[in-house]
Amino acid sequence: MRDDELLTVIDVMARLKVGRSTVYDLIRTQRLRSVAIGRCRRIPASALHDFISGQSERAA
């Protein structure tokens, strides 16, 4: 996964093994950064990496 890659909500759902509403909730609460392109949401791969890292640090 390249850091400059833009992921779809479906990509993020698959990588986190969560549902669509969970991904949109993470975006809505600004725990997962995203960009709007027209009516679509895209999540930078670096934002997903940051989110996962943050969750790992909280669990430790």
| Per-residue pLDDT at 58 | 74
Please provide the average confidence, as pLDDT, over all residues in the chain.
93
Q: Alpha-carbon Rg of the chain, whole angstroms?
A: 11
Low-confidence ranges of the chain (pLDDT < 50): none
Neighbours of 42 (CB within 10 A): 16
Q: pTM for the whole thing?
A: 0.87
List Cβ neighbours of 30 (8 Å cut-off, separation of 6 or more): none
What's the number of CA atoms in the CB half-sphere (13 Å) around residue 43? 25
